[in-house]
Structure 1
Amino acid sequence: MTQKQLIELKGVSKSFKAADGSARLILDQVDFSLQEREIVALLGKSGSGKSTLLRIMAGLISADKGQMTYRDQAIYGPVTGIAMVFQSFALFPWLTVQQNVELGLEAQGVPAAEREQRADAVLELIGLAGFGGALPRELSGGMKQRVGIARALVTNPDVLLMDEAFSALDVLTGETLRNDMLELWQHAKISTKGILVVSHNIEEAVMMADRVIILGNDPGRVRCEVKIDLPRPRDVDSLEVRTLIDEIYGLMTMRHTHEAVTGEGAHHLGYRLPDTDVSRIEGVLDLLADTPFNGRADLPQLAAETELSDEELFPTYEALSLLGLALVEKGDISLTPLGAHYVAADQANKQELFGQQLLLHVPLAAHIRRNLEAELSGSLAEVPLLELLEEFMKEDEAKRVLEIAIEWGRYGAVYEYDYHTGRLTLPAMDDED
């Protein structure tokens, strides 16, 4: 039996204006489809445009190029049959649970009596019977997200879009809510015909989805797709599930050919440095070097050991790879000889080695150092550096990248930074030479 198509995107591209007025491409030529009775998970690192793509499907923002259809009808604005659940709960704090859930129905002009009956029914379905009169501040995080889901489900949506809906919750609460949603779906207790889940959690994606789509970065493009034919409910400890998780970890950490050869590669001044700090880099290195890993680890096992999310760890893996301290390949991470030497070194030698690798592999750090050495005063203002970075990225991203470069450079004694004046200087020892 042929599945009916719910949402289809063809050649969708989207740009946003940078601070200097130039256009920054967020999504480029994205093709996507969601079929009836299908759950699709969308994975991608920060900056891949996952949430932007979701908002285009919901009709909340428009694409610059491409075709977007819902049941073969063009999407020009918010669609009645599509509902969205947000990561931040997005509840009105001055409204009761009942009133928050009824909002969508009220906007559709549904009479008060019917609104109340439908809200009561969905609150019972989602496990919140008796909480209709409560205010959001009286609820736990998991209960708030249940209200957000109830508000989406009460409109009987054809398509449910979930934007990292479980990521703000603790692990156990998120897993419970995810399983409850899957049970409602499996037993057709909700009218929803298709679900798209944006996630940064690989295990969550494998446990929920029929297909996993991975987006590349800068700009967001579909890199690959993994089909999952396993029946639900799925056993997270089964060989089939663990194999799929490993496969997707490998795909997520693999450097795509396009990313390696374009101006967005690590050799470029506008490379978006991975958003991680030195303490986390060294923490993962120490853990990797210690028992039971002894220099090599399966990425899901390492994530479990650190109790950090994939979203927190992926930038650290990227930084370790960038600095030549670890090799990430096919879902595994291993210390390089340099990384093993780094772990064994004393603090002074660690910092010296970090600085050497930084100058060798991070063009922005090398650019700052060269310009400091060329300045008679040995001092540089940060503003021109920010303006330079804003040629490649948005203002907030430029600020973040410079902050990371400053932190790494200070640790590696490549340069110093005065937070009061906003100026970079050569280290004091270099000034004396």
Structure 2
Amino acid sequence: MAENIASTAAPAVIELRGVGKIFRTASQSDRAVLEGVDLTLREGEIVAMLGKSGSGKSTLLRIMAGLVGADRGEVDFRGERLAGTAEGIAMVFQSFALFPWLTVQQNVELGLEAQGVPRAERERRAEAAIDMIGLAGFNSALPRELSGGMRQRVGIARALVTEPDLLLMDEAFSALDVLTGETLRDEMLALWESGRANIRSILIVSHNIEEAVMMADRIVILSSDPGRIRAEVPVALPRPRNRDSAQVRALVDEIYALMTAPAAEARLPAQAPARQIAYRLPDADISQMEAILDLLCEAPFNCRADLPHLADEAGLTDDELLPACEALQLVQLVSIERGDIAATGAGRAWYAAGPQQRKVMFGQQLLGNVALAAHIRRELVASEAGEIREEQVLHELERFLKPAEAERVLSVAIGWGRYGEIYEYRYNSGMLTLPEEELPEAP
């Protein structure tokens, strides 16, 4: 694999044309998870896929693996329609997905056993894959006796032993500590470059922007609700790549800029269509948002920073930084443009304020900019007792979101609203209420 950019003339390994996936909401209406996805992976390329929560990355990966069927469009693998799982496609999961009662050798042999490979050949090929991935001598170990990095090596060996044309990696390094993840990533790239693994193409789903830039020949970025390909960025750099080089840093900046485009659909609550309340609020903790804005407004940044630099200074992963930055942008305490983040006038005022005033200001920003928070507040004000059941809001959200996602979104909105003191939540009864001082007096 000396050449790291697949030619457009290279044979296609898998082709997706107009792929869509829908699910039926509680109100019996259909909601698109994926819509109109066109994607081709060719021999000799590694493609990374990025996108925030709700973009359908994992769903798309499972469609490509044949684990889930597409509701619209076509998927061709090696020129033939993909119908269910296929030999030649292997997948590595974030959670390792090992059978705890089987040894390393037995776990690695599973895929070959499913293909009907004779026992002697299974054993030989599994031993070779275990050795190739750096686990020689651990064949008889059980998963509980291995570290996280070693368990993921077993998962990779189980995928590689089938010599797949297409290897799908779903957040394969994200459950590992940084050093272990980087080591395993570098070893995977070395195997790819050497050609020892006989893989034709790799698709990596990741939340780590730098990882994508360091590994991929092409980066695909999905939008959300529904998931569509919003951008493709070629990475025309030879491997191995130096993460500190100007070219790599420029690409990281470019991807940050694409990943942090303003989420305007969550705003304008007064004029918003009903589904706007179901915007997928990011999983951002208030304390983390405070820490990021404080760091941004202090020296050396002085209210403006390059996002990758801010991430390094804060010691946060992309998976931690980007949701918090999206949340700060939603409430207009920061603006983000071309990979740079800056405190807005409201953000500067918030930074200078005391703890109680910060809460008041945050509540005002919520009401002016986040549709769900404003909707809850309006419903509470309109109610006779100044309270509503959380099930009422969940029912509205479930018109557009799966139940688990509706619960997550409401939980985020409750946390933000309580901090901003625009409403309260009683955990014992599941009631949303106006702040105590605003509740109507009992008759």
TM-score range, shorter chain: over 0.9
Match of 1:404 in 2: 412
Match of 2:356 in 1: 348
Q: In structure 1, how many angstroms separate the alpha carbons of the residues matched to 2:427 and 2:264? A: 39
Q: In structure 1, how many angstroms separate the alpha carbons of the residues matched to 2:69 and 2:334? A: 41
Pair 1:152–1:9, CA change in 2 (3 A)? same
Aligned match for 2:213, one of 206, 211, 214? 206
Match of 2:239 in 1: 232
Q: Does 1:358 align with 2:362?
A: no
Match of 2:72 in 1: 65
For the aligned residues, what is the CA RMSD? 1.9
Segments of structure 1 that go 5 or more residues without pairing to the other structure are none
Question: Sequence identity, in percent?
Answer: 60
Match of 2:113 in 1: 106
Moved more, 247-256 or 81-90: 247-256
Deviations 1:342-398 (A, max 9, x none): 011011100110111111111222222222222221121111111011112111111
SS, match of residue 48 in structure 2: strand
Aligned match for 2:433, one of 425, 428, 431? 425
Match of 2:344 in 1: 336
Q: Does the 8 Å CA contact 2:266/2:371 hold for their aligned counterparts?
A: no
Q: Does the 8 Å CA contact 2:265/2:279 hold for their aligned counterparts?
A: no
Instruction: Give the C-alpha shift of residue 257 in structure 1.
Output: 8.8
Give the letter for the 1:287 counterpart: L
Matches within 5 A, 1:16-415: 16-255=23-262, 268-415=276-423
Q: Does the 8 Å CA contact 1:267/1:362 hold for their aligned counterparts?
A: no
TM superposition outliers: structure 1 runs of 4+ over 3 Å: 255-261, 263-267
Instruction: Give the C-alpha shift of residue 245 in structure 1.
Output: 0.5
Q: In structure 2, how many angstroms separate the alpha carbons of the residues matched to 1:197 and 1:182? A: 12
Give the letter for the 1:332 counterpart: D
Q: Does the 8 Å CA contact 1:264/1:271 hold for their aligned counterparts?
A: no
Instruction: Give the C-alpha shift of residue 174 in structure 1.
Output: 0.5
Q: Does the 8 Å CA contact 1:259/1:265 hold for their aligned counterparts?
A: no
Q: In structure 2, how many angstroms separate the alpha carbons of the residues matched to 1:81 and 1:255? A: 40
Q: In structure 1, how many angstroms separate the alpha carbons of the residues matched to 2:255 and 2:317? A: 15
Q: In structure 1, how many angstroms separate the alpha carbons of the residues matched to 2:206 and 2:134? A: 23
Q: Does the 8 Å CA contact 2:266/2:369 hold for their aligned counterparts?
A: no
Instruction: Give the C-alpha shift of residue 133 in structure 1.
Output: 0.5
Instruction: Give the C-alpha shift of residue 265 in structure 1.
Output: 9.1
Structure 1 length-normalised TM: 0.96
Q: Does the 8 Å CA contact 1:267/1:363 hold for their aligned counterparts?
A: no
Deviations 1:120-150 (A, max 9, x none): 1111100000001000011111101000000
Deviations 1:213-266 (A, max 9, x none): 1000010000011111100000000000000100111111123899999x9999
Moved more, 19-28 or 211-220: 19-28
Pair 1:282–1:259, CA change in 2 (3 A)? closer
Q: In structure 2, how many angstroms separate the alpha carbons of the residues matched to 1:266 and 1:238? A: 47
SS, match of residue 16 in structure 1: strand
Q: In structure 2, how many angstroms separate the alpha carbons of the residues matched to 1:95 and 1:3? A: 39
SS, match of residue 169 in structure 2: strand
Q: In structure 2, how many angstroms separate the alpha carbons of the residues matched to 1:84 and 1:264? A: 41
Structure 2 length-normalised TM: 0.94
Q: Does the 8 Å CA contact 2:262/2:329 hold for their aligned counterparts?
A: no
Q: Does the 8 Å CA contact 2:61/2:170 hold for their aligned counterparts?
A: yes
Q: Does the 8 Å CA contact 1:297/1:334 hold for their aligned counterparts?
A: yes
Q: In structure 2, how many angstroms separate the alpha carbons of the residues matched to 1:180 and 1:278? A: 38
Q: In structure 2, how many angstroms separate the alpha carbons of the residues matched to 1:208 and 1:364? A: 38
Q: Does 1:7 align with 2:31?
A: no
Moved more, 311-320 or 160-169: 311-320
Give the letter for the 1:356 counterpart: Q
Q: In structure 2, how many angstroms separate the alpha carbons of the residues matched to 1:29 and 1:167? A: 28
Give the letter for the 1:143 counterpart: M
Aligned length: 432
Q: Does the 8 Å CA contact 1:409/1:416 hold for their aligned counterparts?
A: yes
Q: In structure 1, how many angstroms separate the alpha carbons of the residues matched to 2:158 and 2:399? A: 41
Moved more, 13-22 or 186-195: 13-22
Q: In structure 2, how many angstroms separate the alpha carbons of the residues matched to 1:149 and 1:59? A: 19
SS, match of residue 268 in structure 1: helix
Q: In structure 1, how many angstroms separate the alpha carbons of the residues matched to 2:272 and 2:234? A: 29
Instruction: Give the C-alpha shift of residue 19 in structure 1.
Output: 3.0
Q: In structure 1, how many angstroms separate the alpha carbons of the residues matched to 2:383 and 2:164? A: 62
Q: Does the 8 Å CA contact 1:161/1:196 hold for their aligned counterparts?
A: yes
Deviations 1:19-68 (A, max 9, x none): 33332211000000001010001111111011111111111111011111
Q: Does the 8 Å CA contact 2:135/2:150 hold for their aligned counterparts?
A: yes
Deviations 1:194-217 (A, max 9, x none): 111111111000001110010000
